[in-house]
Amino acid sequence: MQVAVDKASLLHELETEYAVSAEATAFYREYGYVKLKNVLSPEVLQYYGDIITELVFRLNTLTKPMEERTTYERAFLQIMNLWREDASAREFVFSRRLAKIATDLMGVQGVRLYHDQALYKEPSGGLTPWHADQFYWPLASPQTVTVWIPLQATPMEMGPLAFAERSQNVEIGRDIEISDESEQRLSEELKKLNFNVNDTPFELGEVSFHAGWTFHRAGPNTSGAPRKVMTMIYMDKDQTISKPKNSFQQADWTTWLDSYPVGSKPESSLNPVLFTY
């Protein structure tokens, strides 16, 4: 029997503030990431997770066999800007609760959405190589953060996100795309520099926030179930668009920033302010 959903209570949760402790904020700023428990209830994750999952499988175009895929393609199914595809997905992506956490962790006055993306690692899906997200973004300031929201408990065999602590402040590897090369080169460099790696499971309701230049990776999914994750990328609402430095940034400038002028704020309809003081 299907249980009736109290939609009003779910929406209330997405709008209600989550108290970020001073310790969590200090940890984020020093280490470049933080994991927070009980940010979202099982009810919210179930309801919106079902909607996101339906969208992912409806919109996915990557259908070739796993053995024929590149390393990047084996890492996950990647579907972006679900908020523009479905009104309920928009409710989740536009969560004031999550946007305020991002604002407080960065210590800014508010945040805009860069874009959302669902990252579904299929059973037998491969590793996600070491990389830093901001390599792809034509943004002048490092005041960017991604929230990584597992839609189920994520044990080690599913490939939870792992973080190289304090790596947001180093210049190594900022010129390399996610690839077999980035996995090998960054593994060597991070080990040489003695960066501690936090590689631990995620409980249901636990989410992480990591800075744009924090190096991270994820192991393969050796379980029999898909690892379902939703993410949103936030940027300081006063962020500035920078001149694209590579072909990926050029594509991002067009796709996610609506080709807004270099040197201006990203104020197009694609980049709404989700929280401001």
CA-based nearest residue to 13, from 38, 50, 49: 38
Per-residue H/E/C for the chain: CCCCCCHHHHHHHHHCCCCCCHHHHHHHHHHCEEEECCCCCHHHHHHHHHHHHHHHHHHCCCCCCHHHCCHHHHHCEEEECHHHCCHHHHHHHCCHHHHHHHHHHHCCCEEEEEEEEEEEECCCCCCEEEECHHHHCCECCCCEEEEEEECCCECHHHCCEEEECCHHHCCCCCCCCCCHHHHHHHHHHHHHCCCCEEECCECCCCEEEEECCCCEEECCCCCCCCEEEEEEEEEECCCCECCCCCHHHHHHHHHHCCCCCCCCCCCCCCCCEEEEC
Q: Are 86 and 3 spatial neighbours (Cβ–Cβ below 8 Å)?
A: no
b/e per residue 154-178 (b: at least 16 CB within 10 A)? beeebbbbbbbbbbbebebbeebeb
pLDDT tens-digit map of 135-183: 999 999 999 999 999 999 999 999 999 999 999 998 777 777 777 777 8
pLDDT tens-digit map of 221-277: 999 999 999 999 999 999 999 999 999 999 999 999 999 999 999 999 999 999 999
What is the signed CA dihedral for 148, 151, 154, 159, rounded to 10 degrees?
Answer: -60
The reported pLDDT for the residue numbered 181 is 78
Q: Which residues contact 224 (CB under 8 A, 6 or more apart)?
A: 123
Q: How many C-beta neighbours within 10 Å does residue 55 have?
A: 17
154 backbone dihedrals φ, ψ, rounded to 5°: -125, 90
Delineate the domains of the chain, giving CATH numbers in brackets: 7-259 (2.60.120.620)
pLDDT tens-digit map of 89-143: 999 999 999 999 999 999 999 999 999 999 998 887 788 888 999 999 999 999 9
Confidence of residue 2 (pLDDT cuts 50, 70, 90): very low
Residues in the chain: 277
The structure tokens 């901001």 sit at 134
Q: Model's pTM, two decimal places?
A: 0.92
The reported pLDDT for the residue numbered 1 is 39
Assigned token pair, 131:
């990389």
